[in-house]
């Protein structure tokens, strides 16, 4: 499986991406294509005493910074590492593309280069949620690609999520819910209430509203939300888990005796970490474009990037774009999909 | 200070509220008025061998269930414990009212009985957020009263929150931020982007957007959001903290040796719990009505209810409604405030 990796993606940049690449090198099923500035890539590989010949390098001269405008930077910097990676997928030179870069730029470049699957109005970013119920598969979308969606788009997300979770994550007839400010059907903002009516009229395994507190504790298989709420909800969960870990670490290392006890509890804390592991979830698939594109967190560690690469591999193995092709019933599909100009579909601000 | 307590508020009902009432009885500065069915109250007090004469009881014949329609139930059940409590505040027979009941019904009853402060379009529910930065005061509003606000209402929330945090929580010139899907000013949904322009033109200490991950870790003093996003964000944070606690408890009690170590670490875990303590935050003040009203969480423990009663006491001591009276600059104030019929201002669904 040939997977292109955006070497300049993420808040840290080349070093973490190359570290992740080196970690996957032992796996013969993955051929990585490193996309970015050749000199930087070779320098990073040299630091790790890894011969550059062991990876394919595709030079891209420009980087898109995390604070640049998504659409403008993709258009102006034609030779940027994100767009070059997408081109590899489009031409069939890569089976998938992974980037921890500017998620808005990734979505814009994917739309511009790969285009949408017929019937999809806007592609959505989905992610696995680490559920505390053992073995439970929880997936949420959109987490940031479509900030002000229409109700019909939320319904499309429901179909895309259902197809992904059943085909890629192996859950038959997954449960689908809308996240809302209460479980009663009367709750919800105008968007969610309109979407609720649409979901109720489908053959999706729609189970109603779920609340924020269910997100980790008792989640449905597919949680559907707009990109604004999804982004905030996910980051609140990440931030709360990180804050709690910080407090635990600070308290446990405050005294020599608690430090000693913490040392003895290390395996236990390891298991705790594994159960609420945002790094292990393996990047966010961009659902609804003609190709396998995985967006990794901008703060990804090498371990998180390796997991994103494995997600990309798996999605390419099952041929995700073909699977999603028929996911949305014809009457609900957006007839204009694929024909809109990039400027009107650009999803993330700036 | 005379504080009315809704005995029937909360998922559990009378027993928890009476348990909380009994706990505050030792404090001579608090005179509690128990509002609800006299027989039930007396029975609960008897169970705890607490003489009923030690509390004032105001009989209210009806309860509003957590799944009832907010506006309809308040209108139909005229003798419900929430409305009766509001009447006590209106007549000056109580200095504040505390309820762990249906938050929509509390807001509706407050609007109907107490009315809005001049200039406030919609009252907002605010809450302290347990911040991991020691001593940091973090407050967020709205967390569920106004589900689809206009940008101007978010600005009013900014003024109400600033006044509350400076006058009640003692922070001079508090920082104010809008929660959004990224820090860059180009981010945000249509509502937040419109509100951003309004905030930037004021003399509030507006610091821009904050992301979900800052909510506990590095929050502004005042986080402004719509009630839909605020409700979901808060519940995600609570749910994540609860899920993590569950996992920790499960892992620590899985083996006799970890159980023993956990026992030795008990004081440490106590300090950890105190720092991310959603029970300790003391209920959510309803800001913008003519009276002191505190909404406690439906799942409140007696300890959480005691903290809500203390918040009510403090807010009444500083005369919160008068403090908020001049909080919103005249040109921004809603000239129609107070004149709208209840049906059009009813905030929470059903």
Cα radius of gyration rounded to whole Å, chain B: 20
Nearest CA in chain A to B238: A213
For residue A278, what are its two tokens? 């945002």
Q: What is the DSSP string of A88-140?
A: HHHTTS-SEEEE-S-HHHHHHHHHHHT-BPTB-SS-EEEEE---SSTT---EE
Which residue bears the tokens 């500083």?
B318
Identify which of A188, A234, A261 has the shortest CB distance to residue B265: A261
Contacts of A144 in chain B (CB under 8 A): 181
Contacts of A219 in chain B (CB under 8 A): none
Contacts of B144 in chain A (CB under 8 A): 181
CA distance A237 to A231: 10
Of A224 and B332, the structure prediction assigns the larger pLDDT to A224
CA distance B157 to B145: 11
B20-69 pLDDT, tens digit per residue, is: 999 998 899 999 999 999 999 999 999 988 776 789 999 999 999 888 88
Give which of B66, B136, B228 to mutate to test A binding, by max A Cβ within 10 Å: B228
Q: How confident is the model at residue B344 (pLDDT cuts 50, 70, 90)?
A: very low
Contacts of B276 in chain A (CB under 8 A): 240, 243-244, 247
CA distance A305 to A280: 9
Contacts of B184 in chain A (CB under 8 A): 67, 349-350
For residue A75, the Cα-to-chain-centroid distance in whole angstroms is 23
CB atoms within 10 A of CB A136: 16
Residue B340 has pLDDT above 50, yes or no: no
Q: Is the C-alpha dihedral spanning B51, B54, B60, B63 positive or negative? A: negative
Q: Is A247 close to B275, i.e. CB distance below 8 A?
A: yes
B172-200 pLDDT, tens digit per residue, is: 999 999 999 998 888 999 999 999 999 99
Q: Which residues have CB under 8 Å from A241's CB, separation 6+?
A: A276, A278, B240, B244
Contacts of A269 in chain B (CB under 8 A): 251
Identify which of A188, A215, A243 has the shortest CB distance to residue B276: A243
Q: Are B231 and A181 in contact (CB under 8 A)?
A: yes
CB atoms within 10 A of CB A151: 17
Nearest CA in chain B to A271: B251
Q: Is B236 close to A237, i.e. CB distance below 8 A?
A: yes
What letter would DSSP give residue B303? H
Average pLDDT, chain B: 88
Q: Is A246 close to B350, i.e. CB distance below 8 A?
A: no
Does an H or E element contain B294, and which? strand B293-295
CA distance A72 to B252: 52
Q: Are A122 and A85 in contact (CB under 8 A)?
A: no
pTM equals: 0.90
Three-state secondary-structure class, residue B52: helix
Per-residue confidence (pLDDT) for residue A121, from 0 to 100: 93
Q: Residue A71 phi/psi, 5° resolution?
A: -70, -45
Q: Are A25 and A5 in contact (CB under 8 A)?
A: no
Contacts of A145 in chain B (CB under 8 A): none
Average pLDDT on B283-304 reads: 92
The C-alpha angle with vertex B133 and arms to B127 and B138, in degrees rounded to 5, equals: 20
B256-273 pLDDT, tens digit per residue, is: 877 777 777 777 777 776
Give which of A66, A177, A213, A271 to mutate to test B binding, by max B Cβ within 10 Å: A213
pLDDT under 70 in chain A at which residues?
Answer: 52, 273-280, 331-350
Q: Is the C-alpha dihedral spanning A309, A314, A317, A320 positive or negative? A: negative
CA–CA min distance A348, chain B (Å): 7
Q: Residue B59 phi/psi, 5° resolution?
A: -70, 135
Give which of B186, B225, B236 to mutate to test A binding, by max A Cβ within 10 Å: B236
Exposed (0-12), middle (13-18) or buried (19+): which is A75, by Cβ within 10 Å?
middle
Q: Is B244 close to A241, i.e. CB distance below 8 A?
A: yes
B80: β partners? B62
Does an H or E element contain A56, and which? strand A56-59
Q: Residue B125: which of B322, B308, B340 has the closest Cα?
A: B308
Q: Is B251 close to A238, i.e. CB distance below 8 A?
A: no
ipTM of the complex: 0.89
Q: Is A182 close to B231, i.e. CB distance below 8 A?
A: yes
Q: Is B132 close to A236, i.e. CB distance below 8 A?
A: no
Three-state secondary-structure class, residue A78: coil
CA–CA min distance A14, chain B (Å): 23
CA distance A204 to A344: 29
Q: Residue A235: which of A224, A227, A247 has the closest Cα?
A: A227
Identify which of B215, B228, B257 has the shortest CB distance to residue A181: B228
Q: Are B159 and B204 in contact (CB under 8 A)?
A: yes
Cβ contacts from A onto B, under 8 A: 199
Identify which of B247, B252, B348 has the shortest CB distance to residue A132: B247
A32: β partners? A3
CA–CA min distance A125, chain B (Å): 14
B60-77 pLDDT, tens digit per residue, is: 999 998 888 888 999 999
Q: What is the DSSP string of A215-274?
A: HHHS--SEEE--HHHHHHHHHHHHHHHHHHHHHHHHHHTSSHHHHHHHHHTHHHHHHHHH
Nearest CA in chain A to B134: A247
| Residues above pLDDT 70, as percent of chain B | 91
Residue B334 has pLDDT above 70, yes or no: no
Exposed (0-12), middle (13-18) or buried (19+): which is B331, by Cβ within 10 Å?
exposed
Give which of A187, A239, A255, A347 to mutate to test B binding, by max B Cβ within 10 Å: A239
CA distances from B36 to B63, B84, B348 (A): 8, 8, 23
Residues constituting chain A: 350
Per-residue confidence (pLDDT) for residue B326, from 0 to 100: 85
Q: Residue B300: which of B22, B71, B61, B9 has the closest Cα?
A: B9
Alpha helices in A77-139 (DSSP H): 81-90, 103-113
The C-alpha angle with vertex A255 and arms to A252 and A259, in degrees rounded to 5, equals: 50
Per-residue confidence (pLDDT) for residue A232, from 0 to 100: 96
Identify which of B217, B261, B265 has the shortest CB distance to residue A239: B217
B194-244 pLDDT, tens digit per residue, is: 999 999 999 999 999 999 988 888 899 999 999 999 999 999 998 888 888
Nearest CA in chain B to A260: B261
CB atoms within 10 A of CB B260: 13
Residue B144 has pLDDT above 90, yes or no: yes
């Amino acid at each position: 499986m040939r997977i292109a990796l955006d070497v300049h993606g993420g808040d840290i940049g080349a070093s973490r991406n190359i570290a992740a690449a080196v970690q996957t090198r032992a796996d013969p099923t993955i051929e990585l294509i490193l996309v970015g500035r050749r000199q930087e890539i070779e320098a990073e590989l040299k630091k790790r005493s890894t011969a550059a010949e062991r990876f394919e390098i595709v030079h891209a001269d420009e980087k898109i910074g995390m604070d640049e405008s998504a659409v403008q930077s993709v258009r102006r910097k034609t030779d940027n590492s994100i767009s070059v990676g997408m081109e590899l997928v489009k031409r069939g030179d890569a089976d998938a593309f992974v980037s921890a870069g500017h998620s808005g730029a990734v979505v814009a470049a994917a739309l511009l280069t790969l285009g949408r699957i017929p019937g999809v109005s806007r592609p959505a970013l989905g992610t696995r949620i680490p559920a505390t119920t053992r073995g439970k598969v929880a997936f949420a979308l959109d987490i940031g690609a479509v900030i002000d969606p229409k109700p019909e788009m939320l319904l499309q997300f429901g179909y895309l999520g259902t197809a992904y979770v059943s085909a890629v994550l192996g859950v038959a007839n997954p449960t689908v819910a809308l996240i809302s400010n209460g479980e009663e059907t009367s709750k919800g903002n105008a968007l969610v209430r309109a979407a609720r009516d649409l979901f109720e009229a489908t053959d999706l395994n729609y189970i109603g509203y779920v609340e924020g507190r269910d997100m980790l504790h008792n989640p449905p298989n597919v949680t559907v939300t707009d990109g604004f709420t999804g982004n905030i909800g996910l980051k609140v969960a990440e931030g709360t888990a990180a804050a709690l870990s910080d407090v635990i670490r600070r308290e446990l290392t405050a005294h020599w005796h608690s430090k000693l006890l913490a040392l003895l509890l290390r395996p236990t804390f390891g298991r705790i970490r594994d159960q609420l592991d945002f790094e292990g979830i393996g990047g966010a698939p961009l659902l609804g474009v003609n190709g396998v594109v995985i967006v990794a967190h901008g703060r990804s560690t090498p371990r998180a990037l390796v997991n994103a690469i494995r997600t990309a591999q798996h999605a390419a193995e099952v041929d995700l774009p073909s699977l999603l092709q028929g996911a949305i019933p014809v009457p609900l599909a957006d007839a204009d999909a694929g024909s809109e100009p990039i400027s009107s579909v650009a999803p993330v601000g700036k």
